[in-house]
Structure 1
């Protein structure tokens, strides 16, 4: 079966085409965050060929891949990931997933590197650890010796990673520490400080427009890398969202191209990173529009209801009502466009489709209103 979400994120195809036209042709894409596996307790699963199919649908070239949560340990799953990468004709590159609580954690990390891994994945929520942690420090030190990345889950379900990230970055300058999911657990604390630590990076595998604009405005563009989180979604929506946010804060196509893949290629090769300038700030984002913020707040509620298995009917209805505006209203055109996507989300909900089918049009509407002021025509 295809990657979850792949049949449904086509709703952004026309919008994404505009962003790709701005970016320019022949930009190589390199996804920093994809998984394969069949035993994750959350029920998600994927095979390597399904990731490659999703890359092809989006016209993307490469992805880092690692094991999903494996209740029985990571030795065999890591071996499968490494074999899959070796058989992918360069489309997939493996990260070894390490549980620092496992008695053989460091040995597994060393084994993965010997067999071709290009870094490590650590997941403090599903593998139940916090920072600081002595084995995590050892894994980061090992990555630093080889100038390779360590990708940390830094999304929902954990306390902040905090000062430990800064300490590890300073102590192991060769390691590239990538905080996944826009680093939302630490974005407010670390975002304004990471310019001092070029080896702290953030991936873009997240969906909320306020978080994403915070990421793109407070973190230097050279410290942001594109990511999708497949198979939890497809590849078209996250690439649209990344480009839209980059353009909204005033990034150049050259900076966006580096985020899309050029910088990650340097990370996994152990090369010096590109300096893409300072954080771009909020000056390009425009006015605060309360009508847009109302829609964003209701769509946030709807998305959280879907992710938690609840009924998003009411917040979707309120979001759509929030798009109402007088005929001569200043923001009517933007709200009308967003309303069309919310209506599609409602239709899909009523049709009883997979809940992920509801998410894509809903959060597309969120992105449209959240970036409208920055991208409005003169």
Structure 2
């Protein structure tokens, strides 16, 4: 008879977060693809004071959520970093974002220090429409930023705000990607949706944008933008999971288009703020049945090329 330890759940059970059994369950999903690991471009690390407020908002099922949203990977910072390592994540981000003036520069300082301490972190920065934005965006580039994040819904600003004109120009010239949460999910904002984003792209057509969450709820419209603009991509964050499919099912007739955009789709998890195990996000991509080549590109190769990772 085989003994079962606490970290070795019975068949069908969900492994405990941060357990060896959970790490093994994640690795079993990507190792058969022959990959050296995962690259997760949508993970959240931020100052603890900010993260505590984010978690409190999730715990309260705030109005932008509209439903219960338990956080699976609530833990101290290093435990969360080690968890990604155990999953086989080669590189990850520290997605942070400003929701008011005079916040972004401080967040960028924290992010630079975090990236210096965590060599697998792709140094992440942010910006907000304010007079100082061009200055601290240039400084972020000088400090080694490799990716930016903006959250239109939480920040409650339009991406085509005139105060961001210089910033978009700076970022476009840098060639660095911006992950932009601009879809109307999980709840519409005043400036969410594809129209403001397309206004920016018309003026900055070389801008490298990655639309978070596959553009939930405007899936088809953001697919259109990814097809029309060479440097526009999509991240899979929470998309196709049981949790998201309940309220915002991805149109299955669009999956051939998603497959055709294999080199523009990136793995993102939303770790640690996800209401299900990390493995489920990957399983949700596998069950789309878009092929191993598509999975290899999404889970690793696209980001490895974008960030020039060996």
Q: TM exceeds 0.5?
A: yes
Partner SS for 2:209 = strand
Partner SS for 2:94 = strand
Give deviations 1:277-312, integer Å, cap 9, x for gaps. Answer: xxxxxxxxxxxxxxxxxxxxxxxxxxxxxxxxxxxx
Distance 2:270 2:193 in 1: 20
Distance 1:216 1:50 in 2: 36
Contact 1:123 1:152 in 2 (8 A): yes
Distance 1:173 1:28 in 2: 32
Partner SS for 1:82 = helix
Cα distance, 1:256 vs structure 2: 1.0
- Structure 1 residues 141, 161: closer, same or farther in 2, change over 3 A? farther
Gap runs ≥5 in structure 1: 271-378
With normalisation by structure 1, the TM-score equals 0.59
Distance 1:12 1:214 in 2: 33
Q: Pairwise CA RMSD of aligned residues?
A: 3.3
Q: 1:86 aligns with which of 102, 116, 125?
A: 116
| 2:81 equivalent to 1:58 | no
Q: 2:297 aligns with which of 251, 258, 279?
A: 258
1:110-129 equivalences in 2 (<5 Å): 110-129=138-157
Residue aligning to 2:39: 30
| 2:263 equivalent to 1:233 | no
Contact 1:39 1:69 in 2 (8 A): no
Contact 2:18 2:83 in 1 (8 A): no
Partner SS for 1:188 = helix
Contact 2:169 2:204 in 1 (8 A): yes
1:301-340 equivalences in 2 (<5 Å): none
Contact 1:37 1:46 in 2 (8 A): no
Cα distance, 1:7 vs structure 2: 4.4
Distance 2:168 2:279 in 1: 29
Residue aligning to 1:42: 54
Distance 1:127 1:43 in 2: 17
Which one has a larger percent helix, Structure 1 or Structure 2?
A: 1
- Structure 1 residues 157, 177: closer, same or farther in 2, change over 3 A? same
With normalisation by structure 2, the TM-score equals 0.71
Partner SS for 2:154 = coil
Cα distance, 1:264 vs structure 2: 1.6
Cα distance, 1:267 vs structure 2: 2.5
Residue aligning to 2:4: none
Partner SS for 1:125 = helix
Contact 1:156 1:184 in 2 (8 A): yes
Cα distance, 1:194 vs structure 2: 2.3
| 2:110 equivalent to 1:98 | no
Distance 2:282 2:85 in 1: 18
Distance 1:129 1:12 in 2: 39
Gap runs ≥5 in structure 2: 1-13, 57-73
Distance 2:279 2:229 in 1: 26
Distance 2:224 2:291 in 1: 21
Contact 1:144 1:176 in 2 (8 A): yes
- Structure 1 residues 143, 50: closer, same or farther in 2, change over 3 A? farther
